[in-house]
Amino acid sequence: MRILVVEDERKIADLVRKALEATGFVVETCDNGDDALVWAQRSAFDAVVLDIMVPGRDGLSVLRQLRASGNATPVLLLTARSSLDERIEGLNLGADDYLPKPFYTEELVARINAIVRRRDPGHSSRLESGSLSVDLLTRQVLVHGQPVELTAREFALLTCLMRSPNRVFTRPQLCERVWNYHHDPGTNLVDVYIQRIRRKLGEDPLRARIETIRGVGYRFVPEPAPSSGPLTP
């Protein structure tokens, strides 16, 4: 899922970004309301984390404009203020949730998952393919019920591929989504991480696998459904 974080305090923005990326989200950050409105209207995001007190157009103004234009993207408001009137105004404008500062990043991640599930009941916090199971909230990875330890980047790369089964991702796309920087043609970073994940998952041609598309990139191929065998009268 793609999340837009609108926060002008760099330290907070970095903490939120890292927490969300560690859980498998793709994160874009913005430090002012004017740019935030443009980004939210032009790009498809699954949720927006929106600080009320940002330079330019404030968060409530951004929210008001989004809802007036018919944009229903879930919005989580952040603010250091304790005013009840402000919280009520934000919720009445169409905010999906509200989180006062200071906050725990774990709670923010949980609230983001909750508002996305409310808007999209089909959204699940678990990715599964045959014997492979990934819990996006606890970051637990199981193969045949046995835990597999992945680093934060390995986890982000695996979930990025699993969220779009059979879709081919180029190396530049994976670098941007997982490492948040443009791909250097001279690096084999993506390939090294793919090999680590394959080794840890113990890939088998008969199970779910990360497939190499020569000259292009990689894709996640789901485990085929078990055959029921021939029908007999």
Length of the chain in terms of residues written: 233
Q: What number is the average pLDDT over the span 189-193?
A: 92
pLDDT in tens, 203-213: 664 456 899 99
Structural domains in the chain, CATH included, are 2-119 (3.40.50.2300), 126-221 (1.10.10.10)
Q: What number is the average pLDDT over the span 140-160?
A: 88
What is the model's pLDDT at position 79?
84
pLDDT in tens, 112-142: 988 887 766 555 567 888 888 888 767 789 9
HSE at residue 191, side-chain half, CA atoms within 13 A, is 11
Asked if 159 and 136 touch (Cβ cutoff 8 Å), the reply is: yes
Is the model's pTM score more than 0.85? no
HSE at residue 59, side-chain half, CA atoms within 13 A, is 29
Place of tokens 């032009």: 42
Rounded to 5°, angle at Cα 187 from 184 and 191? 120
As a whole number of angstroms, the distance between CA 164 and CA 150 comes to 20
> Confidence band (pLDDT; 50, 70, 90) for 231?
very low
Q: What number is the average pLDDT over the span 177-184?
A: 70
